[in-house]
Amino acid sequence: MKKTTAKTSSVSFDVTATKFREFHSNGLNVFLHLITTPAMLVSIAVSLILLAEDKEWIYRTLVLIYAMSLPRTMGVVKKTTMTTTFHFDEGDQRKRGTKYKGTTLLFTWISLVGMSLLSEYLVEFKYVTNLKQCAMLFACGYVGQELAHVITFEKTYQQSYMSSSKSEKNLQNWQSLLIEHAYFLLPLCFDALWQTRDVPLLSWIVAHNYLLRCKLTGAKETNALRDIYDFVSKENPSRDRTAHWWFEKLKGKTKKAFDTIIDSEAIAGMFAKKFRSDAWAVEPIYSMNEIYVASSHHNFNSDTVFYMEHCDGPWSVYPWCFVYRCMVAVNENKQVETIFPMEGSGSCLSDGDVVGFDYHREIHIIRDLPTRNTDRRVTMKLHYVVYPRCFGFLGRFLAKLASFYNWAARNLFLNTIAPSNWFWKFMAFMVLFVTRSVFELEKRAGLNSIVAVVLAYYVGKNFIHEHFFLAFTSYTHYCMYIATYQIREGINFGTFKRNVVFFKTIALCHLGYNYFIKYFEYDLISLAMILGGYSLSFSAAYALGVDQTYFGVELGECAPNFVDGFPYNLGIPHPMIVGSIVGLLGFHKNESFREHLPYLVPLHCLFYLVHMVQEHVYDIYKHDESATTIQTTTKKKASSPGMKSSKRRNSVSREKESEQQKKQHPHTNGTNGTHSATRRRSTRLSPTNDRSPAWARD
């Protein structure tokens, strides 16, 4: 009987979690639930403390009983007649079932501890003194949950079973479903957190790949492109400079053809694959759209900017919303390649190919190939604003900002394409200088990261605590490691590396400044630990290479490079992490440093250990039945304790398949289509990585 009950409880959680997710698939909705749900639970906890008066043990016992009941009822622990086994993450992780149960339970326990401490704090310091205030806090949390559903256009789970309970058949189940819903509410929120369909909360600090691609093949689109091409041919613009025709000034058949492309089903579908239509709005920005004809050459004028790595717009530091520029190839092109260095791919857009990229954030460049076009390169530039439906005012305002900048830049570019005097030559120079400066900031650090750091410093210094900035910038890169390793899909590899290196550099600067300048005391053992530990860590990183160090294999960006040289021949498990922890403990050994910053190093070590456990628990090949072990020499190297176990399978077969495709289609680089539509990994990003990228394998 007991065994049946435990099984029923586990199934009950799985069924409830599956239904709950249907009504909590929006990342913002789940994020708000992680505020409102703890608020309601804290109000209940404070009420219990007030009712128990000075007998805190009663309240703590109730919390402990609830926490200890969850492993069985959630199905994380299953007890048989012989043994008790832990089932963290049952089933194939690639399926969207009830997964990450162990992680859900862990975060639920951590939250319960935090809420318990907060509840006792609120009572002890008289922030909440009576049951009326508790009721108000509970009401605020409940109303907040309802508002979260309203602004994200999602129905509530409670409505689903309350409405169905009106029938006499389901009336008896209403109370049990409500109790079950309330009992599992906190773990249900964390379960939904990992699996939201648009942008999970965990992935908000992940460098997503926002590059979009499609091809216009429909009859309507093909005819519209032909009309655009005929219009340009009739206008017969000069070939030695770029030509522009803006949408607002087009007329008749040409404008109608442009409208057809703007409203194309293929482009709408391209956006829908990345931004779910019930949560995101995609609207054209007509004032920015144009027909563009490239020049045959450039000579230190504003056209030169396109042959430099650059971002098109200045509003990269703008929350939650995007402006997309979609480049549509009107005719054949086999000469001019559009490259996205951070994402790591390049392509010659030709005959209906479309690429959409973030107008304000995506670094790109065009480059001439040895082959020559026999005709003008005609393209259309379409622009769309993409924003969460609940933040429509933010999205529409960004569209106005982008349109204004485009108008100002348009006039500047037109006067600097062929500068007629010293003033416009100077302005042409300024266009190139500013473009280069913004690009360097975006490539090396990212304007979003820079602004976040500056804000953290200002807010921490003036409003929160003197160590807020230290904490914020010391541990951010660990959160990026953990979140990226967990998500792993649709990652912009170049942006990810940029972000983690930027924040890790700041973290190391904090350690160095506080140890060697602010709190320095001579300690030979401490210095030896720092030098030895970080030498080991840097040696391991150097042996693996930058790409492989930062999850290049796990993200599908490079083939495994199993090394058996120093320090992986020492038999030290995870020498990079072990070396870093030894170096960190060297900082902590300094008495003055430890006295003033007692938690800085222990938290560094904790994050490292959490990530190390994550790599073992969530081995990327654990559920891959088709994976095969790499041949002889690699097997031998991979058996070393210092090797990452997740980098051992399936690369050789994929490389052979890619080589066979290249031999069969020498101009397609292993992908389908013509030479002009080829997308390839840019050698500018990583010359040593010639493995087919994820999009080619897909």
86-102: average pLDDT: 48
pLDDT at 438: 82
The answer to whether the beta carbons of residues 399 and 324 sit under 8 Å apart is no
Is residue 499's pLDDT more than 50? Answer: yes
Q: Residue 380 forms beta bridges with which residues?
A: 291, 328
What domains can you pick out in the chain, each with its CATH number?
2-197 (no CATH), 212-431 (2.60.120), 447-649 (no CATH)
Give the pLDDT band of residue 696 (cuts 50, 70, 90): very low
pLDDT at 449: 93
Give the pLDDT band of residue 366 (cuts 50, 70, 90): confident
129-146: average pLDDT: 94
pLDDT digits (tens, 9 = 90+) for 373-389: 888 899 999 999 999 88
Residue 76, amino acid: V
Spatial separation of the C-alpha atoms in residues 386 and 450, rounded to whole Å: 24
pLDDT digits (tens, 9 = 90+) for 304-350: 556 778 888 889 899 889 999 999 999 999 998 999 999 988 889 99
Give how far Cα 514 sits from Cα of 473, 510, 600, 601, 603, Å: 14, 6, 11, 12, 16
Which residue did the predictor score with more confidence, 169 or 155?
Answer: 155
Angle (deg, nearest 10), helices 174-194 and 27-52 = 120
pLDDT digits (tens, 9 = 90+) for 637-689: 333 333 343 333 334 344 444 444 444 443 333 333 333 334 444 333 333 33
Which residue did the predictor score with more confidence, 518 or 242?
Answer: 518
560-589: average pLDDT: 89
Residue 658 φ then ψ, to 5°: -65, -40
Spatial separation of the C-alpha atoms in residues 212 and 268, rounded to whole Å: 11
Residue 422 has, within 13 A of its CA and on its CB side, a CA count of 0
pLDDT at 318: 92
pLDDT digits (tens, 9 = 90+) for 77-88: 765 433 333 333
Give the pLDDT band of residue 260 (cuts 50, 70, 90): very high
pLDDT at 303: 53
Nearest-5° angle of CA 334, CA 336, CA 341?
Answer: 125
The answer to whether the beta carbons of residues 191 and 100 sit under 8 Å apart is yes
Give the pLDDT band of residue 627 (cuts 50, 70, 90): very low
pLDDT at 556: 87
Spatial separation of the C-alpha atoms in residues 278 and 92, rounded to whole Å: 28
pLDDT at 683: 36
Calculate what percentage of the chain has a pLDDT beyond 70. 79
Give the pLDDT band of residue 171 (cuts 50, 70, 90): low
pLDDT at 410: 78
pLDDT at 200: 55
pLDDT at 298: 55
Is residue 93's pLDDT more than 70? Answer: no
Give the pLDDT band of residue 256 (cuts 50, 70, 90): very high
Q: Which two structure tokens, joined as six digits, stand for 349?
A: 């857009």
Give the pLDDT band of residue 201 (cuts 50, 70, 90): low
pLDDT at 305: 58
Q: Which two structure tokens, joined as six digits, stand for 513?
A: 């400044």
586-607: average pLDDT: 95
pLDDT digits (tens, 9 = 90+) for 441-472: 888 999 999 999 999 999 999 988 889 999 99
pLDDT at 633: 34
Spatial separation of the C-alpha atoms in residues 179 and 160, rounded to whole Å: 15
pLDDT digits (tens, 9 = 90+) for 261-285: 999 999 999 999 999 888 899 999 9
pLDDT at 288: 95
Which residue did the predictor score with more confidence, 289 or 419?
Answer: 289
pLDDT at 508: 96
pTM of the shown model: 0.78
pLDDT at 215: 96
Calculate the CA dihedral of residues 460, 466, 471, 473 and round it to 10 degrees.
60
